[in-house]
Amino acid sequence: MRQLRKAAWLAAAVAAALASSSGWAQKTDASGDDDDAAYVAPTPATEAATQAADSASATKKVDASFWAARADKYTVQWGGISLGDGVITLTPVGKDCYEYRSETDPVALVRWTYGSPSETSQFCLRDGDVYPTHFEYKNGKSDDNFTVDFDAANHRAKIIRGGEVNEFSVPTHVYDAFSIQEAVRFWAARNAANIGAEHDFAFVDKKKLRSYTFKIQGKETVDTPAGSFETLLVERVDNPNKSYRYWLAPSRDYIPVRIKHINKGKTELQMALEK
């Protein structure tokens, strides 16, 4: 019975990670709390430096295939245990606008205890950046479904969760917890030669505005079920206790081919490109 309860807890925790198969802004604990990432407005000097860096990187081009329709399948492990698969799709839905979707195929225990969550983010490209318009998290077995709507013109975001509405101001560059993957991927691709570059990314989760700092750490070769890839390692660096590492493959338009979440020195979530 103890083993079953432990397996069910792990299943729920990994299903939460599967819910955001990208893993960019997904919490890695069962509670989903991550208060260390609370958003702090940048100082004028920091904001000016960020805008200058954004302006420089915005002039760097990516291949036309970068925003082409795609479907990427990942294997998912928690503590070395296989928990299922996740598929992420990118679909053009108009001029410079896209639907980004994550669907999961968890193993039986996860499906039984937690369900099969999915996430959908709608965003458009403008002025060299990703601008989300709508995000939706859905799971038929959970009452934790929620949506986030963005009003870029008025710098506002609105969370609707459990019948409650929470609306607040957000900075110009802000993402939902799923489209942040595309924002980081876009930034890394245009700064691939700038090893050591860092950037802050504000995002809205199911509760409030938060922020992560990502750094381009270097280049590495990694092996996955889909093959061997030369990659660019990007890592979350704002919290020494939580290291989120993402290996982006230039040959696959900088999609993550391997992901690791490390909590207090222990690897928890691992994902690898399957095809």
Question: What is the chain's length?
Answer: 275
pLDDT for res 80:
78
* Average pLDDT rounded to a whole number, residues 189-211: 95
pLDDT confidence band for 27 (50 / 70 / 90):
very low
**What predicted TM-score, i.e. pTM, was given to this entire model?**
0.82
- Collapsing DSSP to helix, strand or coil, 261 comes out as strand
The pLDDT > 90 percentage for the chain reads: 55
The beta-strand segments (E) located in the chain are: 70-78, 81-94, 97-106, 118-126, 129-138, 146-151, 156-161, 164-169, 174-176, 198-204, 209-224, 227-236, 242-249, 255-263, 266-273
Residue with more model confidence, 231 or 43: 231
pLDDT at position 112 over 60: no
pLDDT for res 30:
36
**Residue 242: which of 5, 16, 25 has the closest Cα?**
25
* Average pLDDT rounded to a whole number, residues 224-240: 96
The segment with the largest mean pLDDT, out of 114-118, 249-253, 268-272, is 249-253
**Residue 25: which of 143, 202, 177, 161 has the closest Cα?**
177
Q: Are 206 and 144 in contact (CB under 8 A)?
A: yes
pLDDT digits (tens, 9 = 90+) for 158-186: 999 988 999 999 999 999 999 999 999 99
Q: Are 69 and 91 in contact (CB under 8 A)?
A: yes
pLDDT for res 43:
54
The pLDDT > 70 percentage for the chain reads: 73
pLDDT for res 245:
94
Residue 106 gets the label, from left (phi > 0), alpha (psi -120 to 50) or beta, of beta
Least-confidence region, from 34-43, 171-180, 199-208, 236-245: 34-43
Q: Are 120 and 114 in contact (CB under 8 A)?
A: no
pLDDT for res 268:
85
pLDDT at position 146 over 90: yes
pLDDT for res 138:
87
- Collapsing DSSP to helix, strand or coil, 180 comes out as helix
Give, for 110, the enclosing helix (H) or strand (E): helix 108-113
Token pair for residue 39?
A: 């958003």
pLDDT at position 104 over 70: yes
For residues 190 and 211, what is the distance between their CA atoms, to the nearest angstrom? 21
pLDDT for res 90:
97
For the residues of 5-54, what is the DSSP string, one character each?
HHHHHHHHHHHHHHHTTT-SS---STT---GGGB--PPPHHHHHHHHHHH
Domain borders along the chain are: 2-273
If you average pLDDT over every residue of the chain, what do you get?
82
pLDDT digits (tens, 9 = 90+) for 32-51: 445 456 666 665 545 545 55
